[in-house]
Structure 1
Amino acid sequence: MAPGLPAAMDRPHFIGIGGAGMSGIAKILAQRGAQVTGSDAKESATVGALRALGVTVHVGHAAAHLADDASCVVVSSAIREDNPELVRAAGLGIPVVHRADALAALMEGARPVAVAGTHGKTTTTSMLAVSLTELGLRPSYAIGGDLDAPGSNALHGEGDLFVAEADESDRSFHKYAPEVAIVLNVELDHHANYASMDEIHASFETFAGRIVPGGTLVVSADHEGARELTRRLAGSVRTVTYGEAEDADVRVLSIVPQGLRSRVTARLDGQELTFTVSVPGRHYALNAVAALTAGAALGIPAGELAPALAAYTGVKRRLQLKGEAAGVQVIDSYAHHPTEMTADLEAMRGAAGDARILVVFQPHLFSRTQELGEEMGRALALADASAVLDVYPAREDPIPGVTSELIVEAARAAGADVTAVPDGTEIPELVAGMAKPGDLVLTMGAGDVTDLGPRILDRLARR
C-alpha cells in the first residue's frame, strides 16, 4: 500500500505553489489529508485545480499569507531569500523544506522510480505513470507537466509504486533513493549551476549512487554523455542500457513513423515486442523504450507493459495540438534547449509531410541563451520561418549583452528565415499574415510563449 502523510507536513505552506513541481507535491499532500496552503504570483488553471482539492491559495506574496501554525514552508530553488513569506517563516521559526526534500518524504515507504536526464524527463515519467495506471497498478506520480487537464501532474495512488521526475538543474535529485532510476541523456545545461560537463557527470554519478541496494539504473546506450556516465560508474550499480546501439541490453530494432504515431519494435530478454507510441518523433519512441525497460526492472511483464504504453497520448506543451483555424494547426512545444528544439522540429517535419512549419520561439534564461544561443539559431533553420521573442528571464537577472539577437544572428547565418519580434502582442497579427492553409505553427519555449497559442488561433479564425 502507498505510504501516508509524512510527519511534520500536515499543515504545509507552499511559496510558488502554481509551479509544475510544487503543485504536484501540494496535490499529493492534499490527497493524503494535509491542510495545504500556498501562494503564487498569479491566477492560473493549476491554482484553480488546487483550490478544487481544498487547498487555500493566495495570489501574490505577502507575509500575512503564512499562518502562524504552519508546520513547514515548502520552497523551490526559484524562491528568493527576500520573499516576505520566507522572511516571516524565519521570524516564526517555521521549518523551511526544499521541494525535493518534500517529494523524497512522500516517496518513503514506496517503491520509487526516478526519471532523470537533460531532456525527456516529463514525457518518460508520464509514459510510465499512464501505462502503470492502465495495468491497474494504481501508482503515485509527480510529473513536471499536466497529462490532460490542469492539476493532472500528480496523484496519490493506492499502489506501492511512485514515479517521479528527478530534476538535475539544482542538484535536488540527489535527495531521492530510487529502486529504479532512469537516465535518458546527459548534456551541458543549467549554466548558472554547472560550469562544465565534468560537474554534470559528477552530479549524475551522485544521483546513480543513491539507488537502493539491489536497484537498477536504466540508461541510454545512444547518447555519448549517458555512455560516459556508464563508464564512470564502472559496474558499481546494476545497469541496463537501452537504445538503437548494437550493444544495448534492450535493443530498439525499428521505429516506423505512422503519421502522428510510431510503431516500435524492441528486443528485451530475447523477446521481440512491437507496440504503438501514440505521439510522433523518434525521441518519444526511445523514451517509451526507456519506460518499458524500467518497468521490466520493477518486475512488470514486458509483454503486458508494452501495449499499455499506447495509452499515453501526450503531455501538455509536448507537441500538444492547441487547435486549428483557417486550415492552420497550432502546436505547443516546451523545447528550449537546442537538442530538444531539433528533436521536436524533426518530429514535426516527419509528421507534416509537405506542410510548412512556422515557429514562434521564446528563449528561456539569459544564461542558457549566452551559452547555447548559436545552437538555438541553427536549430531554427529546420523551420520554414521563425519569429524570435525576447528572452524569458524566469528566475534570472539580465546579463549585459545577452539578448535574443544572438539567436537571430545565428539563425540567419544558418540560412534561416527569421524575424526578431520583441513584443509578443504583435505575434498573432504576424502569424495570421504569414500562415497559409495546411501550415503548422509551433509556439516553442519554456516561458509564457504558450499563452500565444489561443491568441494566434483567435486571430486566424477572424482572418
Structure 2
Amino acid sequence: MTPGIPPALDRPHFIGIGGAGMSGIAKILTQRGAQVAGSDSKASATTDALRALGATVHLGHDAAHLAEDASAIVVSSAIRADNPELAAAKERGIPVVHRSDALAALMDNLRPIAVAGTHGKTTTTSMLAVALSSLGLNPSYAIGGDLDAPGSNADHGSGEIFVAEADESDRSFHKYAPEVAIVLNVELDHHANYASMDEIYDSFETFAGKIVPGGTLVIAADQSGAVELTRRLRDVSSLNIVTYGESEGADVRIHKITPRGLTSEVTVLIGGKLLTFTVSVPGRHYAHNAVAALAAGVALGIPAHNLAAALKSYTGVKRRLQLKGEAAGVQVIDSYAHHPTEMTADLEAMRAAAADSRILVLYQPHLFSRTQELGTEMGQALALADSSVVLDIYPAREDPIPGVTSDLIIDAARTAGADVVAEHDKDKSVAVIAGMAKPGDLVLTMGAGDVTDLGPRILDHLSGDTATAAE
C-alpha cells in the first residue's frame, strides 16, 4: 500500500519546525501533500528549505501563528507547557501530537528500520539511507542531521523501506514497531529522564519488545551495555538477534579494520564468507556503524555484497567530523560529540587519520545534567587532544544546576594531564583557539550546541579576516 497522510496530520502545525527531528517529519508530510505550517525561534537554512517545499514557517512563537483550520499541533519533548502556541491549541481543543507519534504514523504500511543507541544513531541511519538509495530502493528516511544540504535529513521515497533514527532520550522510541531494529550501544545518558542503568536497560528492552514478530534485532557484540541487553533478551523467542562486532562470537564478525587516511577498509565474516569494503569516513566507531548498517540491510533480504559496495557512497553527515575548511595550513573540523564515549572516539579517529598533526579542541559542554554526571569523563576525554579551550555549558532546554559549571570538566582534564584553558566569552574563544594553531594542526569545534557556528569564524581569523571572525 502506498503510504499517505496520517489522520489528523493533513494540516499540522509544528512548534520548533526547524529542529533536526521536527523538520524531517515536516518535510515528509509536505512531500506527501499535507498543508504543513509551523514556527521556530529563528530563521535558518532548514526553515528556508521547508519554505521552498511549500511549508508555511513563522518566526517566533505566538498564538496568532496557529491557523484556524490546523488539524494538529506537533511538539517535541523540548517544547515547554507555557509555549503560547501550545497553550492556544489546548484552549481550542486541537489535538497535540508528539513528534514520535507523528513519525510512527509515517512508517505505517512500510518496512521500518529503527536505529537506536546512546550514540552513533545519526551516522548509522545516514549510512543506510545513502546505501539503500544508491541501490535504487528509494527508501523514506528521517535522520537527526543533514547529509549534504539543509533539508536532506529526510525524504519521502517511493520504496517500501523506511529508515528512522530512534531517540531513547525521552523514551519516544517505544512508539515504533520496526521490522529491523539496531542497537549500537547502551550507556547511561539523558540524566534528566533516566536515574540508573537499570532504567536504561528497561527502556531498551521495551524498545526491542516493539519489534514485529519474526523481526530482527541487530546489536553490538563488543559494547558492555549492549551485551547485557542481549543477555536479557535471549528469552524472547519471537525475536531474531544478530550480533556484530570484533568479538569472536559475533554473528557478523569484524575481522580487520585498516585505517587509510580519512577512510577505512573493513573486512567482515558474514554468511560464512569474508567480505571487504570501504568506509569513506575515518575511525573505528564509524566502521562499526557501517557493519551494523550492513547487518540490518541483510536482515531485510538485501544481498551483503550489494550493500557493502553501496556503503562506500556514504561520505559523511554534517557535524560528524565534517571538514569546514582550511586556512593558513590549519584544517577546521566540526564534531557533534558531546558524550565522553563520542568525544574519545572522534579524537582517536583524528589521531589515526592524521598522526603527525597536533589536535586542538574548542569544546562546548551540552546540558547541565550531562555535565553533572559525566563532567569527569569529559575532561578525561579531552586529555587525548594536545590542547583544549572549554566554553561555558550550552543549556539547551535545561535550567542551570547550582555548582555545575565547565570547571568540573576543566579540573578533571587537568588532573588527567591535559593542557586546557577556560574561556567564558564565546566570541573571544575564536581568537584564542586560532592563536594557538600552527600550520599542520587540526582544530575541532566539538559539542552539540552552537559551537558549530564558530568553525567558519575560526577560518576567517586564520586567514586574516578578523572583522568577519568577530561577527
Using the size of structure 2 for normalisation, the TM-score is 0.98
Distance 1:17 1:87 in 2: 17
Change (3 A) 1:442 1:2: farther
Give 1:102's aligned residue: 102
Give 2:367's aligned residue: 365
Change (3 A) 1:2 1:271: farther
| 1:21 lines up with 2:21 in the alignment | yes
Give 2:250's aligned residue: 248
Distance 2:171 2:226 in 1: 17
| 1:459 lines up with 2:461 in the alignment | yes
1:259 touches 1:351 (CA, 8 Å); kept in 2?
A: yes
1:243 touches 1:250 (CA, 8 Å); kept in 2?
A: yes
Distance 2:424 2:156 in 1: 42
Letter in 2 for 1:429: A
Please, which moves more after superposition, 3-12 or 198-207?
3-12
Q: Structure 1, residues 137-196: CA drift from partner, whole Å, max 9, x if none?
A: 000000000000011000000000000000000000000000000000000000000000
Q: Pick from 377, 381, 397 the counterpart of residue 395 of structure 1.
A: 397
1:128 touches 1:291 (CA, 8 Å); kept in 2?
A: yes
Residues 168-183 of structure 1 correspond to what in structure 2 (within 5 A)?
A: 168-183=168-183
Letter in 1 for 2:221: A
Letter in 1 for 2:347: L
Q: What's the CA shift for 1:2?
A: 4.3
Give 1:429's aligned residue: 431
| 1:88 lines up with 2:88 in the alignment | yes
| 1:343 lines up with 2:345 in the alignment | yes
Hey, which bits of structure 1, 4+ residues long, moved more than 6 A?
A: none
Distance 1:51 1:404 in 2: 38
Structural RMSD (CA): 0.7
Q: What's the CA shift for 1:286?
A: 0.4
Letter in 2 for 1:122: T
Letter in 2 for 1:300: I
1:120 touches 1:184 (CA, 8 Å); kept in 2?
A: yes
Letter in 1 for 2:82: D
1:252 touches 1:266 (CA, 8 Å); kept in 2?
A: yes
| 1:290 lines up with 2:292 in the alignment | yes
Instruction: Give the gaps of 5 or more residues in structure 1.
Output: none
Aligned residue for 1:312, secondary structure, equals coil
Distance 2:281 2:288 in 1: 11
Distance 2:114 2:50 in 1: 24
Distance 2:387 2:287 in 1: 27
Using the size of structure 1 for normalisation, the TM-score is 0.99
Give 1:154's aligned residue: 154
Aligned residue for 1:311, secondary structure, equals coil
Distance 1:3 1:174 in 2: 21
| Alignment length (residue pairs) | 463
Give 2:272's aligned residue: 270
Letter in 2 for 1:107: M
Residues 53-92 of structure 1 correspond to what in structure 2 (within 5 A)?
A: 53-92=53-92
Letter in 2 for 1:308: A
Q: Structure 1, residues 52-104: CA drift from partner, whole Å, max 9, x if none?
A: 10111111100001111100000000000000000000111000000000000
Q: What's the CA shift for 1:8?
A: 1.4
Q: What's the CA shift for 1:427?
A: 1.5
Distance 1:359 1:461 in 2: 19
Aligned residue for 1:35, secondary structure, equals coil
Q: What's the CA shift for 1:432?
A: 2.2
1:13 touches 1:66 (CA, 8 Å); kept in 2?
A: yes
Give 1:41's aligned residue: 41
Q: What's the CA shift for 1:441?
A: 0.2
Change (3 A) 1:2 1:242: farther
Distance 1:5 1:268 in 2: 39
Give 1:326's aligned residue: 328
Give 2:5's aligned residue: 5
Q: Percent identity?
A: 78
Residues 169-318 of structure 1 correspond to what in structure 2 (within 5 A)?
A: 169-236=169-236, 237-318=239-320
